[in-house]
């Protein structure tokens, strides 16, 4: 129950100060679970229009804290094509429409393969079906990233 309340306060009630705590928890989880030298993270991008509506994206803000306080390299290589809220889709709709949902961003298109890390950590706030991270990982691997680890903060079943 505490996780549901935390997620609501952070995402819906927009208590942005919680992003610093989330970043600390992410940093500790990465240190404990991923044996990597170069800490490169890629945020899962929000649907188009979310930042206009809400004024912020909690995952991007958390990645900025990880970058500025903990020295992570953040690559914003992905862009979400559609503007449909995931929570409004049922499981079958998510599965059916997942293939074309994420693409390379302008920054992703312009990056040279030799400048790409071999391994990255994809960060998202919620995992429900796993389709989002699978779709993002597929795009990242298509440009030459060899291993995509995933860190999600909440799992919804």
| Digit-coded pLDDT (tens) for 139-153 | 999 999 999 999 999
Residue 61 pLDDT > 60, yes or no?
A: yes
Write down the number of H helices and E strands in the chain. 7, 6
Give mean pLDDT, residues 52-71.
91
Q: Which residue has the higher pLDDT, 98 or 20?
A: 20
5 touches 45 (CB < 8 A): no
Give the CATH class of 2-155.
alpha beta
How far is residue 58's CA from residue 71's CA, in Å, rounded to a whole number? 19
Q: Which residues pair with 98 in a beta bridge?
A: none
Question: Over pLDDT 70: what percentage of the chain?
Answer: 88
How far is residue 39's CA from residue 28's CA, in Å, rounded to a whole number? 12
Per-domain boundaries in the chain = 2-155
How far is residue 89's CA from residue 29's CA, in Å, rounded to a whole number? 30
- Global pTM? 0.86
- The 10 Å Cβ neighbour count of residue 58 is 22
């Amino acid at each position: 129950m505490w996780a549901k309340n935390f997620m609501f306060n952070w995402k819906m009630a927009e208590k942005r100060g919680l992003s610093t705590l989330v970043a600390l928890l992410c940093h500790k989880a990465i240190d404990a679970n991923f044996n990597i030298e170069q800490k490169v993270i890629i945020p899962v991008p929000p649907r188009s229009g979310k930042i206009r509506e809400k004024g912020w994206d909690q995952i991007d803000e958390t990645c900025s804290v990880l970058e500025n306080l903990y020295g992570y390299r953040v690559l914003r290589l992905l862009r979400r094509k559609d503007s449909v809220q995931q929570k409004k889709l049922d499981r079958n709709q998510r599965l059916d429409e997942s293939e074309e949902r994420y693409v390379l961003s302008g920054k992703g298109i312009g990056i040279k393969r030799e400048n790409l890390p071999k391994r990255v950590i994809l960060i998202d706030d919620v995992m429900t079906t796993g389709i989002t991270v699978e779709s993002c990982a597929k795009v990242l691997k298509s440009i030459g990233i060899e291993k995509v680890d995933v860190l999600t903060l909440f799992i919804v079943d």
